[in-house]
Amino acid sequence: MRFLRHSLVGLFLLSLTAGLLVYAGHLVTQAVQDSMSREPPARERRERVFAVNVETAQERTVTPVLSAFGEIRSRRTLEIRARVGGALVELARGFEDGGEVSKGQLLARVDPADAKAALDRARTDLMDARAETREAERALELAKDELAAARDQQDLRERAYKRQKDLQDRGVGTQASVETAELAAAQARQAVLSRRQAVAQAEARVDQAETRLARARIDVAEAERRLADTRITAGFDGTLSDVSVVEGGLVSPNERLGRLVDPDALEVAFRVSTGRYARLLGDDGTLIDAPVTVTLDVDGVELVARGTLSRDSAAVGEGQTGRRLYARLDRAPGFKPGDFVKVEIDEPELSNVVRLPSSALGPDGDVLVLGSENRLESVQVELLRRQGDDILVRATALDGREVVTKRSPLLGAGVKVRPLRQDHGAARAREGGEAAMLDLSAERRARLVDFIRRSPEMPEDVKARLLAQLEQRRVPARMVRRLEGRMGG
């Protein structure tokens, strides 16, 4: 009985558990069906607003700057060559690379012994020619005197012949006397002819002596020139470079000893595209006298020089494109021929243009401006120039509008934005802050000069260039900022 009772209780509990499981499954199934058949509640959608940086567009007259890279050259360079060959017996103390020389200074001397001997021989020949000329002139005078005497004798003989002829006609003289007088007159005429020949020979001798004298003078002048060619002097004030000789060495005629460069007559040569070259032409088709700024980056500090566009090359050059231009520099302390520099040329002014960051221009040539209710509008613009990270554009009804300075794929016409307005000083800094020049006080200038001279890490040539730049009245602001940044001030 006990076993039966326990069995029935277990069976009952099993049935109850199975029933509960079936009921629970039914509840879950019903809940899932209710949830799937129920419509979700409608949510309220909100418009997305993007934060954008905007800048007020201002139309103004701007001078575009054309940038290029070029090389510093000297407009006045002289190759120092030996005009005669021989041994170098003398070299100037400053005849070395980087040596400063003045006009007319003796740089080197070739052994003048042979040239002096040739000059002495030429002068001796000149003395002989002069003596020969004097002797020929005296011989000509004597020949002329002898001719005059022969003519006098001819006159006497002619008169004697006429007298004997007259006596014969009167019957007083004889035929023999007349013939003798006639023979004497003929001999006198023959003597005059001989004396005339002597005078002609004397005159020819004088001409030959004068020709010999002229040749002797030419030989003396040539010998003097050859002697002078043994002295090698500086043609102008400048700096020596590429010196390749030593005292006592042998040089051949026309051998190059070095180069003389005028450091104050510098120019910069650079190449631009044909399109940019066209912007620098005037109405008459000639190159304009555009201002040029040359910048040399020296160990993080910039040297600046200014000049004027002077000329362009006559031909493009084989394998080249564009145009090669040259600009003459006014005063360029610290610059040397061969320096690789950045060149900035001021183009003709553009009126009614707006300067914006290049990131404000869209791929379709439009910009986004702030409209009513802070919604964006698209405005087509004409791209005139690219100036580094900025652009110069022109469009109608853009002046005074707020322009989005940085585009993104999420922005477009009709999108509502939250404008973040920036200071106008940023735009002004883009226009000319990098090329600003400063007037330093005497104390500030002296502090910079002292820092440069005491800097152990700065090379000597860099120090010389920076000190030369600080000697100018106006100094580049960027250079001052970098130096003072190193000083910690």
pLDDT (tens digit, 9 = 90+) per residue, 35-44? 777 666 555 5
Looking at residue 45, its pLDDT comes to 63
Contacts of 421 (CB under 8 A, 6+ apart): 53, 54, 55, 56, 402
Residue 280: alpha-carbon gap to chain centroid: 17
Contacts of 160 (CB under 8 A, 6+ apart): 181, 184, 185
Domains of the chain: residue spans and CATH: 81-111+235-259 (2.40.50.100), 114-229 (1.10.287.620), 262-346 (2.40.30.170), 351-432 (2.40.420), 437-487 (no CATH)
Predicted confidence (pLDDT) per residue in 301-352, tens digit = 778 888 999 998 888 878 888 899 999 998 888 888 888 999 999 998 888 8
Strand 417-421 with 50-56, pairing: parallel
Looking at residue 299, its pLDDT comes to 67
Q: Which band of pLDDT confidence, cut at 50, 70 and 90, is reported for residue 488? A: low
Looking at residue 41, its pLDDT comes to 58
Q: Where is average pLDDT lowest: 118-132, 383-397, 475-489? A: 475-489
- Per the prediction, the chain carries an average pLDDT of 83
Q: Where is average pLDDT lowest: 33-37, 219-223, 362-366, 414-418? A: 33-37
Looking at residue 425, its pLDDT comes to 43
Contacts of 457 (CB under 8 A, 6+ apart): none
Looking at residue 415, its pLDDT comes to 87
Predicted confidence (pLDDT) per residue in 264-288, tens digit = 889 999 999 998 999 899 888 889 8
Residue 223 has pLDDT above 80, yes or no: yes
Which backbone phi and psi does 296 adopt, to 5 degrees? -120, 120
Q: Which two tokens stand for residue 65?
A: 């700057």
Looking at residue 308, its pLDDT comes to 93
Looking at residue 157, its pLDDT comes to 80
Q: Which band of pLDDT confidence, cut at 50, 70 and 90, is reported for residue 292? A: very high
Looking at residue 325, its pLDDT comes to 93
Q: Which two tokens stand for residue 52?
A: 């954008």
Q: Where is average pLDDT lowest: 134-148, 210-224, 304-318, 451-465? A: 451-465
CB 324 within 8 A of CB 269: yes
Task: Look up the pTM and report it.
Answer: 0.63
Residue 249 has pLDDT above 90, yes or no: no
Looking at residue 70, its pLDDT comes to 93
Looking at residue 436, its pLDDT comes to 60
- Report the DSSP beta bridge partners of residue 266: 74
Q: Which band of pLDDT confidence, cut at 50, 70 and 90, is reported for residue 429? A: very low
Looking at residue 23, its pLDDT comes to 80
Residue 105 has pLDDT above 70, yes or no: yes
State the Cα–Cα distance between residues 202 and 138, nearest whole angstrom. 9
